[in-house]
Amino acid sequence: MSIYEFRIDGRLNARGGAAPSELRVEHHGDGTTTLTGPVGDQAALHGMLARLRDADATLLSVRALPDPVPGALERVDWPVRTERLTLRPARADDAGAVWQYRRLEPVARWLTELPADADVFRRRFAAPERLATTLLVEHRGTVIGDLMLRVEDAWAQTEVAEAARAVQAELGWVFDPHHHGHGYATEAVRELLRLCFADLGLRRVTALCFADNEPSWRLMERLGMRRESHEVRDSLHRSGQWLDGLGYALLAEEWKSQA
């Protein structure tokens, strides 16, 4: 099973119905629409392409998104405690607590998607591939934020691809604005880096943000992550503006020398 993204021109002009229900539909400011979701095998992929063709969709691109490596979170002894916080894998019934802060404009403005309502959010949050990469951060029993830990393969040439499996992770963080400014995100992500390098034995972690999201890149720099890229007006924000994007990374040896 892989997650595929189908990008089509315009909106889905369904002749025989709406988009396949297993795909998440997002309309973009550049006039394209992406449909993203799990596709079982080659036959299912061909079936999906045929359904899009039948719905009069003009297909611009199809790509398999990098697989999160299943089971990475299962290799850690949960819950993990820091001085003030508890980190644990998310459960489907955490969706309500997470929606309370993710729906807020100062938070949602930086996130990839803003679901239409709590029900849509609950369904997406409960998807197995999402739960498998989401950690919750609690302070005195209250959920104050969530983290993404998505273990991935590194890019490699074909002959050495096996050696690049599950060696790195993409990280993410979202905290409730009521709990910003206390160092909780710093404390949680510091522990997340320790988990990645010490417990999971990864060789590299990465994270992305909009250049305008200063709290996010300052958090990364506080934790010793290195700015690796600055893309100029490469990312379309839902405001309609093309914004700069930043890429950060940290290698295991860098983390060790800082520790």
Determine contact, residues 207/171, Cβ cutoff 8 Å.
yes
**Secondary-structure percent of the chain, ordered helix, strand, coil, rounded to 5:** 35, 35, 35
Determine contact, residues 214/163, Cβ cutoff 8 Å.
no
Residue 178 in the binding site for ligand COA (CB under 6 A):
no
Name the DSSP letter for residue 9.
E
The Cα 163–Cα 248 span in angstroms is 23
Nearer to ligand COA, 34 or 213 (CB): 213
- Looking only at residues 95 through 124 of this chain, which bind ligand COA when binding is defined by CB under 6 A? 107, 110
Report the run of H or E that residue 231 belongs to, with start and end: strand 226-236
Residue 2 C-beta: closest distance to ligand COA, Å: 25
Residue 159 C-beta: closest distance to ligand COA, Å: 35
Residue 213 C-beta: closest distance to ligand COA, Å: 5
Q: Among all residues, whose Cβ is closest to ligand COA?
A: 183
Distance set, CA 237 to CA 87, 181, 232 (Å): 30, 25, 13
Residue 107 C-beta: closest distance to ligand COA, Å: 4
Residue 186 in the binding site for ligand COA (CB under 6 A):
yes
Residue 146 C-beta: closest distance to ligand COA, Å: 9
Q: Which of 166, 185, 192, 195 binds ligand COA (CB under 6 A)?
A: 185
The Cα 99–Cα 94 span in angstroms is 9
Q: Which residues would be at the binding site for ligand COA (CB under 6 A)?
A: 107, 110, 173-175, 180-186, 209, 213, 215-216, 219
